[in-house]
């Protein structure tokens, strides 16, 4: 659907540039904010793959052929129409200047209809239909509609230039591209989306994103290169939909006259070939173009300045490869700047919450509470539906936490605790409702500050620990804040002291015990000096001794440093000693809230969660059944005192 030079006259093609410059600018801004160690190489590989696929014209009958545009596919995978527009712009620029496919004067018009109209219409159609049809079917529908609307836009562009009769051209173009959309655009898009959902659902934000390994990237690049080499052998020789429409509408003689007066340009590899080499020239040119687009995609993000970090301990810049040894994944530590926005941000500003007016890095929790609300975290009617289904993982959650509180979310597996936690610092975006941190809704503009305020420690420490040594892992977050080496070293020492891991600096994290790994993960968060620490099943998988020591550390951080603690668990015996307030979750909603005594006094409420009473409470209930007049107690000390009182040995 590339409109060639000659069909759109000056100044009409200038108008299209004026239309696309604002969204291109916004797309570049999006890239600087959102591209990370996963999206950057993925965008480059996708661009190369779409370039290679566009070299393969699929036969569709009616004397014509067609290829996919790919903008909607890129937008769906990378989660934004800005990504699709950037990718198509990159591909179209290479095609125009290196192969003279489409044209140079018409480049703005081609970006407008294939990168803007197709991408935005297809992506938001996909988003609208996803909850109704499911991800795969919605991706098919969005890609198909995006291609058809792009074809209609191209028809209108050529009609306004005076080359096509409108109604007849619309019938021909829509017919051709409706079929092309079914065979090429829709089917390929849905197939790729289905493959990703099966193999790496985290890529599409169904769960926490993780870096793509070098091996996976090299494999994908190799597949794309093989596809590019095979393109000349499997592509149809029939003209594509627009070319065939031009023959029908204009006739071959008029086409030659119109295009013959267009801009004369000698591209390096005209018509995807190297002159004089025959079929070998076609193979080499398409392969070279694929490699060029891949390299251009990677270099584009280097130019954007978002894929280099300082490797802790090296003192030198290290290029991000997506390898866990150098960078952490989005699922590693949100507060370690490892989620999508924060891992790529090298903010040079210091958090106001942990520096005093003289810039001294010795304050942990800010005394400034002028937020307009008594809550440090608050959710309002928070609802979340995962892309993989229509069930509400969260259903209208209203939740608030005051500074310094210790709050437990109690519920069985699948109650929604982890999903709620991922909203508290912007890892997940809500389907509806709001999350407020210090009175401010979470937005793209404040996400970095939010993630410095709220640190999340996930269940599995192996999801958070990637660096070769403990010290490097803990230093990762402060280094990416742009702190000086002295401050980074001080932060690392403070954090390791707090989790009792001094002396472990040079140890390899994967050689540590489960409890030690948990403490390393917490230290990585503490090094960012969060005001809120969110812990998802912190004692999961630990032996009783390790669990007790970890909970003692967590209590100490709350009491000595004033860090607000929010803990999710289904281990009811932890709750009485730790919690000031308990929120009970079931099926994505809150079904009870109160002190531990208030909650565990309601046996009907506990039954709904499919959990049990704490062991001490069970003992007291059993004593009641044995006709001993004891009151409910939740702790060992409380039960002892109550039993002694009933026995007459204590007043």
Domain ranges (residues) in the chain: 12-304, 334-339+372-608, 615-646
Token pair in block for residue 215: 């091996």
- Asked whether 344 and 338 are in contact (CB, 8 A), the reply is no
Pairing type for strands 406-410 and 564-569 reads: parallel
By mean pLDDT, which of 261-270, 286-295, 446-455 is the weakest? 261-270
**Closest C-alpha among 493, 176, 166 to residue 361:** 493
Burial degree of 116 (CB within 10 A; 0-12, 13-18, 19+): buried
Nearest-angstrom CA–CA distance, 444 and 35: 13
Contacts of 388 by beta carbon, 8 Å cutoff, 6+ apart: 135, 197, 201, 206
- Asked whether 443 and 464 are in contact (CB, 8 A), the reply is no
The CATH number fitting domain 334-339+372-608, selected from 3.40.50.720, 3.40.50.300, 1.10.3720.10, 3.60.15.10: 3.40.50.300
Nearest-angstrom CA–CA distance, 46 and 175: 28
Does pLDDT of 320 surpass 50? no
**Residues 15, 21, 24, 30, Cα dihedral to 10°:** -140
Whether the predicted model's global pTM rises above the 0.85 cut: no
| 339-383 pLDDT tens trace | 333 333 333 333 344 554 444 455 567 666 777 788 899 999 988
- Asked whether 583 and 408 are in contact (CB, 8 A), the reply is yes
Nearest-angstrom CA–CA distance, 186 and 184: 6
Nearest-angstrom CA–CA distance, 220 and 48: 10
| 121-143 pLDDT tens trace | 999 999 889 878 888 999 999 99
Once rounded to an integer, what is the mean pLDDT over residues 582-593?
A: 88
- Give me the helices (H) in 429-501, please: 447-453, 470-480, 485-498
First to last CA, the chain: 90
**Closest C-alpha among 412, 410, 409, 437 to residue 423:** 437
**What CATH number labels 12-304?**
1.10.1760.20
DSSP state of 574: G
| 64-105 pLDDT tens trace | 888 888 899 999 988 889 889 989 999 999 888 888 887 788
């Amino acid at each position: 659907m590339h409109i060639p030079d000659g069909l759109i006259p000056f100044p009409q093609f200038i108008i299209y540039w004026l239309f696309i410059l604002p969204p291109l600018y916004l797309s570049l801004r999006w890239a600087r904010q959102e591209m990370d160690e996963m999206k950057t190489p993925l965008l480059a590989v996708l661009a190369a793959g779409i370039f290679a696929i566009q070299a393969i014209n699929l036969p569709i009958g009616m004397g014509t052929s067609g290829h996919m545009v790919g903008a909607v596919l890129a937008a769906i995978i990378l989660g934004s129409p800005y990504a699709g527009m950037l990718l198509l712009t990159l591909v179209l620029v290479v095609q125009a200047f290196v192969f003279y496919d489409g044209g140079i004067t018409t480049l703005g018009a081609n970006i407008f209809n294939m990168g803007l109209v197709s991408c935005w219409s297809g992506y938001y159609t996909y988003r609208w239909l996803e909850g109704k049809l499911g991800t795969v079917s919605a991706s098919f529908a969005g890609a198909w509609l995006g291609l058809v609307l792009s074809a209609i836009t191209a028809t209108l562009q050529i009609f306004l230039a005076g080359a096509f009769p409108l109604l007849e051209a619309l019938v021909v173009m829509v017919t051709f591209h409706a079929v092309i959309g079914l065979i090429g655009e829709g089917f390929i898009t849905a197939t790729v989306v289905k493959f990703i959902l099966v193999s790496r659902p985290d890529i599409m934000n169904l769960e926490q994103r993780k870096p793509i390994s070098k091996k996976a990237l090299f494999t994908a690049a190799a597949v794309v290169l093989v596809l590019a080499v095979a393109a000349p052998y499997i592509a149809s020789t029939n003209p594509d939909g627009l070319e065939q429409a031009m023959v029908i509408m204009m006739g071959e003689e008029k086409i030659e006259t119109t295009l013959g007066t267009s801009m004369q340009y000698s591209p390096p590899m005209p018509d995807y070939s190297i002159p004089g080499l025959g079929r070998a020239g076609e193979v080499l040119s398409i392969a070279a173009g694929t490699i060029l687009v891949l390299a251009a995609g990677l270099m584009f993000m280097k130019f954007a300045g978002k894929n280099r970090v300082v490797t802790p301990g090296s003192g030198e810049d290290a290029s991000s490869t997506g390898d866990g040894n150098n960078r952490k994944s989005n699922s590693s530590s949100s507060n370690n700047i490892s989620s999508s926005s924060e891992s790529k941000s090298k903010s040079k500003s210091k958090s106001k919450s942990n520096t005093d007016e003289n810039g001294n890095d010795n304050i942990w929790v800010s005394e400034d509470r002028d937020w307009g609300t008594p809550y440090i975290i608050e959710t309002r009617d928070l609802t979340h539906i995962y892309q993989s289904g229509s069930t509400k993982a969260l259903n209208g959650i209203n939740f608030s936490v005051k500074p310094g509180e210790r709050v437990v979310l109690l519920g069985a597996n699948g109650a929604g605790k982890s999903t709620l936690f991922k909203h508290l610092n912007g890892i997940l975006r809500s389907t509806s409702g709001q999350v407020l941190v210090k009175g401010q809704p979470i937005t793209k503009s404040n996400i970095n500050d939010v993630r410095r305020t709220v640190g999340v420690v996930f269940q599995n420490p192996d999801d958070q620990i990637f660096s070769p040594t403990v010290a490097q892992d803990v230093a990762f977050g402060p280094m990416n804040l742009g702190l000086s080496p002295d401050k980074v070293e001080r932060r690392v020492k403070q954090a390791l002291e707090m989790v009792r891991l001094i002396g472990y600096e040079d140890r390899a994290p994967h050689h540590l015990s489960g409890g030690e790994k948990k403490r390393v993960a917490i230290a990585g968060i503490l090094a960012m000096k969060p005001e809120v620490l969110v812990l998802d099943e912190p004692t999961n998988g630990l032996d009783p001794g390790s669990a007790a020591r970890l909970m003692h550390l967590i209590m100490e951080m709350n009491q000595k440093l004033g860090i607000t603690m929010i803990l999710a668990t289904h281990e009811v015996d932890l709750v009485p000693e730790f919690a000031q307030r308990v929120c009970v979750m079931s099926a994505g909603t809150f079904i009870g809230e109160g002190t531990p005594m208030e909650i565990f006094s309601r046996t009907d409420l506990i039954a709904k969660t499919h959990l049990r009473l704490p062991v001490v409470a069970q003992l007291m209930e059993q004593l009641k059944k044995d006709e001993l007049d004891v009151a409910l107690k939740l702790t060992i000390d409380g039960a002892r005192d109550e039993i002694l009182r009933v026995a007459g040995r204590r007043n």
